[in-house]
């Protein structure tokens, strides 16, 4: 009965009690293991495919979808496997994040103070922006048919989620800082005079 009551109530301030070091290590280990297993599987599958032609990839870095375009054989099975694993590795985290934020929103809406709600939504908004930028572009890149987009479009999307999103991440989080915001306002105010 006590567990059911605890599970039904969101307790965001109990984070340090719930997320003890052992659980953090277990979650990190699981993440590293699944990432390593997925990368190993994709590497083995790519080495099994006979490549032909110029063997030159028109891309910024070696990703599986551009490598499959160099194959001399039908890659439908490989593309299906990549699609399957991409769906698992992209949609499960997005589903967990969405579920977590649903619980957070429910808890925040119970806060009586409008200032408290704004503060929490400001913090959550920054995180959701970064998560949406990363997962949105990754889902767009990996979960569409390979013949559905141009090579330049694939380059742009890959560049966006590997370089632009991590570069924008600190900017999004620092704009929540009052000192940074007042400095930005001074710069823009000075420029408009």
The sign one gets for the Cα dihedral 106, 109, 112, 117 is positive
pLDDT tens figures, 28-81: 999 899 889 888 888 888 888 888 877 777 777 777 777 777 888 888 888 888
| Cβ-based burial of 71 (10 A; exposed 0-12, middle 13-18, buried ≥19) | middle
186 compared with 176, residue with greater pLDDT: 186
Instruction: Tell whether the model's pLDDT for residue 1 goes beyond 50.
Output: no
CB atoms within 10 A of CB 158: 20
In this structure, are residues 58 and 151 in contact, taking their beta carbons and an 8 Å threshold?
Answer: yes
Instruction: Tell whether the model's pLDDT for residue 5 goes beyond 70.
Output: no
Tell me what pLDDT residue 151 has: 64
| Cβ-based burial of 165 (10 A; exposed 0-12, middle 13-18, buried ≥19) | buried
- Separation between Cα atoms, residue 90 and residue 142, nearest integer Å: 9
Tell me what pLDDT residue 10 has: 57
Report residue 88 as tokens: 């698992």
Q: What is the rounded average pLDDT for all residues in the chain?
A: 78
- For the chain, what percent of residues have pLDDT higher than 70? 85
Tell me what pLDDT residue 121 has: 77
Q: For tokens 């632009």, name the residue.
A: 164
- Separation between Cα atoms, residue 87 and residue 94, nearest integer Å: 10
């Amino acid at each position: 009965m006590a567990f059911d009551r605890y599970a039904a109530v969101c307790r965001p301030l109990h984070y340090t009690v719930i997320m003890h070091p052992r659980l953090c290590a277990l979650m990190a280990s699981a993440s590293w293991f699944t990432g390593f297993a997925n990368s190993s599987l994709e590497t083995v599958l790519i080495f099994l495919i006979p490549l032909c032609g110029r063997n030159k990839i028109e891309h910024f870095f070696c990703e599986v979808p551009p490598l499959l375009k160099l194959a001399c054989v039908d890659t439908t099975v490989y593309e299906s496997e990549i699609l399957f694993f991409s769906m698992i590795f992209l949609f499960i985290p997005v589903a967990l994040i969405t579920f977590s934020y649903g619980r957070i929103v429910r808890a925040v809406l119970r806060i009586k103070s409008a200032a408290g709600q704004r503060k929490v939504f400001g913090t959550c908004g920054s995180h959701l922006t970064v998560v949406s930028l990363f997962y949105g572009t990754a889902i767009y890149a990996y979960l569409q048919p390979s013949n559905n987009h141009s090579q330049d479009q694939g380059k742009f999307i890959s560049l966006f989620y590997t370089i632009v999103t991590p570069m924008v991440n600190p900017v999004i989080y620092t704009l929540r800082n009052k000192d940074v915001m007042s400095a930005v306002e001074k710069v823009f105010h000075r420029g408009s005079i």
